[in-house]
Amino acid sequence: MFEHLQQLWSMPSHPGPVTLIGAGGIVRDAHLPAYKKWGLPVAGIFDVDMARARALADEFSIANVYETLEQALSTGAGGVLDIAVPPQALAQVIECIPDGAVALVQKPFGRNLSEAHALAALLKQKNVTAAVNFQLQFTPSMLAVSNAIAQGLFGEIVELEVHLACATPWDDWPFMRMLEVVEIPLHSIHYLDWVRANFGLPEKVYAKSLPHPGYPELADARSSIILDYGDKIRCCLSLNHTHRWGTKNEQATIRVEGTRGAALVGVGYQLNFPDGAPETLQMITEGSDWQDIALKGARIPDSFAGVMANLQRFAAGEDDKLQTSIPDSVATMALVDACLSSNASGEAVAVKKS
C-alpha cells in the first residue's frame, strides 16, 4: 500500500550551476555531498574565511574561489545562489543580490519575524526567485509521511509528537555561542516548518527553552513546545539535545497518528554522533500490521538536493509550486516568533497570521 509514496524529489532537466556563499560545516557535510551525488553542478564558492573556501574547493573540485562577496554574487547570478550564512549575516548578503537572481537562502529566515518581513520585502523588490532551506520537508521519510497524509491514508490526524533525547554536536557551530536564542530558531524550526506545511499554523503556542550546564556558552540547548490546534490535534515537541549517557538509550522519533492509521519515523541522523544511525519509517493502517518502509535515501545528503531541485525546477517552470517559498517561510518564522515570545513571557502566545 505504501510503496507508491513519494520519497525523492525529481531533479531539474537542465541543472543550473550553483554558487555557494558560505563554506561552513553544513556546506561541507550536506550541501556539497548532495550536489555531487545528484549531479547539480557547483560553479564557485565564497567565504569570508578564504582558507576554508579553498579547502572545500580542493575537496569537491570546485573551479572558482571568489575573493569578494560582490564578485561571487555577480558571477553566480546566472545560475543559482546558495546562501549558507548565519542568520545575522543574511541581510548583508541579500542586499547585494543582483535583481532577478535565483537564490536558496539558509534558515532561519532572519533572526526574528520583523527581520523576515524585511528580507521578504527586499527579495520581492529585487524580483529574486527565492526559497528557504527548510529541507526536512524533502527528507525521504518525511516526504512519504506528507504524501500519506495528503492522500488521507491515516484518516483525520489527531496526534503529532516529536521526541528527542540525544547528544547534538553544538560545538560544530561556534556562531551559535553569540545568539540570544538557539534551540528553537536553529533546530526546532525544522519540525515547526514541517508541521506548518502539513497542518497550517496553530492558534497558540507554549514553549520553554532551557540552558544546560554542559554548554555554558549557549543561551539554551533543549525545549518543550506545545502547538495548540484546538480539539483537533494534540501536537507537542520534547527536545533534549544534551543526553550525556551514551548511545544505548538515545531516542529520536516523530510520531503521527490518525483515525485510520499512523506513522513512526526514526530520526537516525540525530543518534550515535558522529556516525549516526539508520533512518527508519514504519506505517500502519486499519486492518493491517505495522510495515517497515524501505527508504530510498536519507536526510543527509538527499533532502539538501531536493530543496535545491524544487527551486531550480520552479524557476524553469517544471514545478508549479515552490515548497519552501518566501511567504511560507515567513509563516514558519511567525510560528517561531510565537514560540520565542512564549519562552520569554512564560505564557501561551497567539500566532500572528498574515
Complete DSSP assignment for 236-290 = EEEEE-B--S-STT-EEEEEEEESSEEEEEE-GGGSSTTT----EEEEEETTS--
> What is the per-residue pLDDT for 252?
96
**Cell, residue 239:** 527536545
**In terms of domains, do 28 and 130 share one?**
yes
Do both 172 and 285 map to the same domain? yes
For residue 354, pLDDT over 80 is answered with no
Q: What was the pLDDT predicted at 223? A: 96
Pick from 205, 163, 182: which is nearest to 335 by CA? 205
* Residue 178, pLDDT above cutoff 80: no
In a domain, 12, yes or no: no
99-158: per-residue pLDDT in tens?
A: 999 999 999 999 899 999 999 999 999 999 999 999 999 999 999 999 999 999 999 999
Q: 113-125 and 326-345 helices cross at what angle (nearest 10)?
A: 160
Say yes or no: 132 and 52 in one domain: yes
* CA–CA gap between residue 133 and residue 20 (Å, rounded): 13
Quick: pLDDT tens for 240-254: 999 988 889 999 999
Domain residue limits at 40: 18-136+304-324
Q: Is residue 118 a part of any domain in this protein?
A: yes
- Assess if residue 4 is contained within a domain: no
> 3-class DSSP state for residue 135?
helix
Residues 183 and 99 in one domain: no
CATH code for the domain in which residue 176 is found: 3.30.360.10
**Same domain (yes/no): 280, 185:** yes
Residue 6 lies in a domain: no
Same domain, 156 and 45: no
Are 62 and 183 part of one and the same domain?
A: no
Do 168 and 228 have their domain in common?
yes
Q: How many domains would you assign to the chain?
A: 2
Count of CB atoms situated within 10 Å of the CB of 69: 17
CB 188 within 8 A of CB 339: yes
Residue 174 inside a domain? The answer is yes
Phi, psi of 119, deg, nearest 5: -65, -40
Task: Tell me whether residue 163 is exposed, middle or buried, using C-beta atoms within 10 angstroms of its C-beta: 0 to 12, 13 to 18, 19 or more.
Answer: middle
Q: Which pLDDT score is estimated for 2?
A: 87
CA 129/CA 107 separation, integer angstroms: 16
CATH number of the domain residue 39 falls in = 3.40.50.720
Both 82 and 130 in one domain: the answer is yes
Map grid coordinates 484518516 to a residue.
155
Q: 214 pLDDT band (50/70/90 cuts)?
A: confident
- 158 and 211, same domain (yes or no): yes
- Reported as a single tens digit per residue, the pLDDT across 14-61 is 999 999 999 998 999 999 999 999 999 999 999 999 999 999 999 999
